[in-house]
Each structure stands twice: as structure tokens, then as C-alpha cells.
Amino acid sequence: TAALGEETLASASSSSDSDTGGASPPPRKKHRASAAEGVGEPGASAGTAGLSAVVLALASSPHPQAPPAVHLNRNTGSSLGTNMQSNGAGEGQESGLTCQSSAQNGESSSAAGAHSNGLLSSTDHGSSVGTGNGAQTGTGTLSTGSGSELGSLKKKKRLSQSEEDVIRLIGQHLHGLGLNQTVDLLMQESGCRLEHPAATKFRNHVMEGEWDKAENDLSELKSLMHSPNATVVRFFSFLLQRMKFLLLQQKYLEYLEDGKVLEALQVLRGELTPLKYNTDRIHILSGYLMCSHAEDLRAKAEWEGKGVSSRSRLLDKLQMYLPPSVMLPPQRLHTLLRQAVELQRDRCLYHNTKLDASLDSASLLLDHMCSRKQFPCYTQQILTEHCNEVWFCKFSNDGTKLATGSKDTTVLVWQVEQDTHQLKLWRTLEGHAYGVSYLSWSPDDTYLIACGPDDCSELWLWNVQTGELRTKMSQSHEDSLTSVAWNPDGKRFVTGGQRGQFYQCDLDGNLLDSWEGVRVQCLWCVSDGRTVLASDTHQRIRGYNFEDLTDRNIVQEDHPIMSFTVSKNGRLALLNVATQGVHLWDLQDRVLVRKYQGVTQGFYTIHSCFGGHNEDFIASGSEDHKVYIWHKRSELPIAELTGHTRTVNCVTWNPCVPSIMASASDDGTVRIWGPAPFQDVQDVDSFSENCNSMDS
């Protein structure tokens, strides 16, 4: 054997010196190594030296008929392939030299014979020669070893836990898109597992409607939900019981839809009832036995019927009870992306559009960012029809009208044009001898109530649609009716003032109830229709129930509460506190949430408001002639609007067009605020400026 090896080696050496190599027998398999770019003598010498080692290995093999498999590095240069052919190696016998891919973790391979998962594979015909990429030079190398394993395969990079999680998330998403072959290749190449085999089996049994097998799979899944904590173990048992209940419920409903009433009854009595879980639901399920046909069953059970859709929905519920190491929660990647988009929107100071839960409304390629130019920070219109101080302004509930009250004794009602959002004077309501300091729209916007300043004992209730005065109410000349609030039913209202009057009246001004001794500064009716919130002269807000005549303290401040308003959901209250500014209170927890900075608030009555599409913003007037806007979660203002020349008494945000806001001032004007004009062009210019600044 040694002699044969020497003779063969000599033959190979002499062949390398000749101009033409020996003819090779035709190959049965066309596994040729793809030649990478590489030229020059180093590549040639490497190929020649490597081939000599190969021939030596062939000569020393105890089984000449089964020569060892040789793994060539895919990065081997073109000169290596040329030298191999010139040395007579060619492509040899079928079991001769075999080139395998060494692509690892996503490296590309151009050989047709490379495995799609990118893993190295070898044929064990005795001793083997492995690949080694060495110093990663331009010309490839062929490394050899000795012993039972000559060389070693290039080791795959070990993935971190987060990398494995990302691969699993991508795999689940692709699986949901039906790209199953892509998922198989991804899992094969990465060495990850999308889910536990027991979970896969459970999934298949559920989707195929094999309920007995799926129920048996729960026992195997239980063994995967192990924990040394006895409490956790009991919790897992409870979850498995719930999963079993959901499986049996689907089984029961499918039997009923198929008309197998006896089988369904057996499931109800023999399987669902013994679980002693959610007996109320079992009673409801038993009522479905009376359904006359499948459509009736699906309607009463609010169920999609037997098939892929209802089983997929069931599987989504079941997945939520399994650890993510066993089976990922449904649509996990979609959930994470949606949370990321929502977080970016929450952190965006100027986001003022409707929240959309779908990802189609957002780009995943860029961070979400709204421009200040899209925010109502720019004067769109100045209303100058009042001839004295404007004390109050309020948009109607449907956002189509704006009412403004002035010291000039008039109420002006403006129409908001739907297309241009420009305001046009629509109606003038006159005759308020003391001036108009407060306005309140009825829930259906049919009526408008106007109140005067402290020395006013009268209240006007106008029919806005007809312009007629329906009621002019005055209980006593000593009264002070400075505030009003509508009951949610639109048939009653409460009014009061600082002289101790607190009345509940109907639309004709008839007194229904009264609360004596309460000096009211501001009022608000709670959505329950029974409770009225009132700020009084004791620096507090109390809740008064007119049905059982009870009251309770809700908010206590250290300084006088000049005015307050409540959010649509009734949870938050916005207070203008004398010498302190704007405070945000949680009415449910009865705690001060935030104090907003910047505004100048003395002892003038200034009215602030919630605003924006989701009431994420707060706006207030100020004695320094400005309008301040804050994001609800930030104490510092995000905008200070200038233009008024005297104290800004009131700010109102359009409830249906979040890009419009109005402010009323002692300068006799009402300003309408909106986005910047031609903002698209300006945004492009701004983007160009940012790009130039980054380039410089």
C-alpha cells in the first residue's frame, strides 16, 4: 500500500508539470465546486499541495473502492479548480471528491448541490477531510487532518436567546401568511424550533377536529409546564382545565351543527359537566339543544360554525394559556409591532389624529413623527364682530357651530363650513343686559343657555335653530346665576352662583329642586344623570346627588377654583386655580395628577379645555395674552400661541374637527387656530434644511 501511495504521488507530481492533464472518466453526478474569484500563484500552489494530500489520503485508505469524501471550501479560488483539472483530478468517480457548502448563518452558496438549510453535510467513508476557512484569504484553502476525523466542520454561530426569539417570531408570521416552505427552510438553517413538537401535534389535532386526540395532547403539554412552585403548578392545572373546557365546547357545538344531538348531549353531560368549571356557561350551552337549525345555533352562540375559521379562533385562545417556549402567543410579531407604533404615537407631542389599531395606517420603515405644522398653532381667522370684551366661547357638540358671548350683551352663533373650516356669522342673540360670561349647549345642540357675571340674576334659554328665546328665568333679584350645566337627558339643567343659589330646573324654567347654602363657582353634570359636581367658595369640588340629597367631597385645593371642566369619559377634571394655574385631577382616585406650567393665572375667571382627537391635549388662556397648549402627560407647554393683545378668557377645541381651536379675549376678538397653510411645501423645505444641516 505504501508503494502504491508513493507511485501515485509521484504520478500526480509529474502530471502537474505537464501542460495537459490526464483524461478523467466521465462523472455520474455533476457536483463541481464553484470557483470564487482568485488568481495568482498562491492559489495554484495551494491547489497543488491540497491535491497531493488528497491523493495521499486515497492511497492510504484501506478501502480503495470507497475513497473518503473531501469537503472543499466554497471560497476556493478559480485557480484552484484549474490546477485540479490540470492535475488529472477532474471530477473523478461518483464516490470520489465531493464539494459541500460551508455556508453558515445566511452565507450565500452558488453550488447546486448545497443543502437549502445551509448546514454542512458529509459522507462518512472512513477518514474524512474537513474544510477550514483559515485566514479568509482571497484564494481558498483545502485543509487536511489525520486520524479518524481529519479536520473539523466550521461551527455555526451560536444564536442568543433574543436572536432565537426573533427567528421564531418571523417564522410564526410567515406561517400565518402561508409561506410554510420558507418557514421550514428558516428553521432548518437557523437550527431553531418554531414550537415544541407536542404543540405542533396539538395544533394539527385541533385544526382537524380530532378532539379526543387533542384532549390527550393536553397531558403531554402539562408535562412541559413544570415549575418547582406549587402555586404555579396549581395555576397551570387551572389553565389546562380551561383549555379542556374550550375544546369540549367546540366539540359540543360541532356535534349540534351536524345534527348529532345524542353525541352532543353525551359531551355536555359526560365531559363538560364533570369538569365543574363555569357552570353558568354550561347552562347557556344546554340551551342550544333547543336550536332548530344550524343558522339558529350560530346566531345564538355567536359562533362562526364548524370549519377552519372557528377552529383557528379556538386555537388562538388556547395558545394564550401555553408558555411561549412551547407555543407562541397568536400573532405575536403583529402584536409587538402594533405596540411599538402605539408607543411612538403616545410619545409624539403633536399626534392629533384618530388612533388606528391596524398597522396599515403606519409605516414600519420610519419612526412616527407629526409636525408642529399639522397642529392648530396658526391663526386661520380673526372674528371681530363683537364690540367689547369677549368673555366666553364654546363649540357645539357636533362641531358645526361656535357660540361666543361678550360684554357687549350679545351672543353670536357662527357656522363652521365643512370644507374650508371657515366660520361665518349665522345668528345674533341679543338682550343680555349684564353681558354674557358663560354659555352651555344642550346635548342635542337645540338649545343654548347664556349666563351673566356675578351681579346677574337672570338666565336665558335660547332655541338656536329658530333664534327664539324660550325661557328667561329669574327666581329672585338677589340671585346670582353665573354658571349652568345640562343634565344628560337634555330635559333639565342646574344653575347657581356665589350668592348661595343652586337650582335644578326644566326647560320652561320651573324649579324642580334646590340646594340651599351652596356658593357655586362652576357646575358639571355627571353622566349618571343624578350627580352634579360643583366648585364652591371653600376651594373644593363636591358631588351633589339630587335624588337622595347626599353630597361628598371629591377635590380639595389650597386656592380658589375659578373654573373647571371634565373629560368626556368623566374620569379627569381640569381646574383653573387662582394664582396657581391649571391642575389636572383624577376624579375616580381623587388625586392631583399634574400641574401645568407656563400659564399666568390671577383672580380672573379663565376657562381651559380638553382637546384633540383623543382628548390628549389641554389648552388654556392666560393673563399674559397667550394661549397655552400642553400634551396631557407633559407639564411643560408644547405651544404658546401669540396674537391676542389682552387677557385670553376662554379656549374651546372643536370636538369633531381636532385641527380647529378658538380663543376669546378681552381685546374684543375671537381667534380661530388651525394648521399651517401650505404645510406640505413647508414640510419639504424643512426636510431639505434638515438634510443640509446633516451634510454640513
- Specify the range with the lowest mean pLDDT, choosing from 53-57, 413-417, 552-556: 53-57
Res 148: pLDDT: 43
Helices (H), 517-573: none
For range 26-44, the mean pLDDT: 41
For range 390-396, the mean pLDDT: 97
Residue 336 pLDDT exceeds 80: yes
For range 272-276, the mean pLDDT: 91
pLDDT band at residue 341 using 50, 70 and 90 as cut-offs: confident
- How far is Cα 193 from Cα 175, in angstroms, rounded to an integer? 13
Residue 75 pLDDT exceeds 50: no
Which has the closest alpha carbon to 416: 404, 399, 403, 439? 399
pLDDT band at residue 363 using 50, 70 and 90 as cut-offs: confident
For range 432-446, the mean pLDDT: 95
Residue 253 parent element (H or E): helix 230-257
Q: How far is CA 511 from the centre of its chain?
A: 50
User: What digits encode the pLDDT tens for the residues 569-599?
Assistant: 999 999 999 999 999 999 999 999 999 999 9
In this structure, what are the phi and psi dihedrals at residue 441, rounded to the nearest 5 degrees?
-85, 140
User: What digits encode the pLDDT tens for the residues 291-311?
Assistant: 888 999 999 999 999 999 999
Residue 694 pLDDT exceeds 50: no
Residue 93 pLDDT exceeds 90: no
pTM over 0.75: no
Residue 83 pLDDT exceeds 60: no
Res 119: pLDDT: 33
Name residue 168's amino acid: R
Task: Label the pairing between strands 670-674 and 609-611.
Answer: unpaired
For range 56-84, the mean pLDDT: 40
DSSP assignment of 117-163, as one string?
A: T-------SSS-B----TT--SS-------SSSBS-PPPPPPPPHHH
For range 217-244, the mean pLDDT: 77
User: What digits encode the pLDDT tens for the residues 111-143?
Assistant: 333 333 333 333 343 333 344 343 343 434 333
pLDDT mean across residues, the chain: 78
User: What digits encode the pLDDT tens for the residues 201-225?
Assistant: 998 999 999 999 999 998 888 877 7
Label residue 213 exposed, middle or buried (CB < 10 Å: 0-12, 13-18, 19+).
middle
Res 195: pLDDT: 85
Res 391: pLDDT: 97
Which has the closest alpha carbon to 43: 117, 137, 126? 137
Res 156: pLDDT: 62
**Count of residues in the chain:** 696
| Alpha-carbon distances, residue 250 vs 103, 303, 308, 319, 375 (angstroms) | 47, 10, 12, 15, 50
For residue 213, the number of C-alpha atoms closer than 13 Å in the C-beta half-sphere is: 13
User: What digits encode the pLDDT tens for the residues 615-646?
Assistant: 999 999 999 999 999 999 899 999 999 999 99
- How far is Cα 463 from Cα 458, in angstroms, rounded to an integer? 17
Res 357: pLDDT: 64
Could you tell me if residue 183 is left (phi over 0), alpha (psi between -120 and 50 degrees) or otherwise beta? alpha
With DSSP H G I counted as helix, E B as strand and the rest as coil, what are the percentages for the chain, rounded to 5?
30, 25, 45
Res 499: pLDDT: 85
Res 153: pLDDT: 41
Angle value at C-alpha 325, between 323 and 326, nearest 5 degrees: 70
For range 30-59, the mean pLDDT: 40
Helices (H), 68-111: 78-86
Res 262: pLDDT: 93
- How far is Cα 592 from Cα 174, in angstroms, rounded to an integer? 48
Angle value at C-alpha 494, between 492 and 499, nearest 5 degrees: 155
Q: How far is CA 598 from the centre of its chain?
A: 32
More confident residue, 175 or 17: 175
DSSP assignment of 572-617, as one string?
A: EEEEEETTTEEEEEETTTTEEEEEE-S----SS--B-EEESTTS-E
- pLDDT over 70 percentage in the chain: 73
For range 47-57, the mean pLDDT: 41
Residue 312 pLDDT exceeds 70: yes
Label residue 507 exposed, middle or buried (CB < 10 Å: 0-12, 13-18, 19+).
middle
Nine cell digits for residue 437: 360670561
Residue 268 pLDDT exceeds 70: yes
For range 357-377, the mean pLDDT: 80
Residue 374 pLDDT exceeds 60: yes
Q: What is the CA radius of gyration of the chain?
A: 40
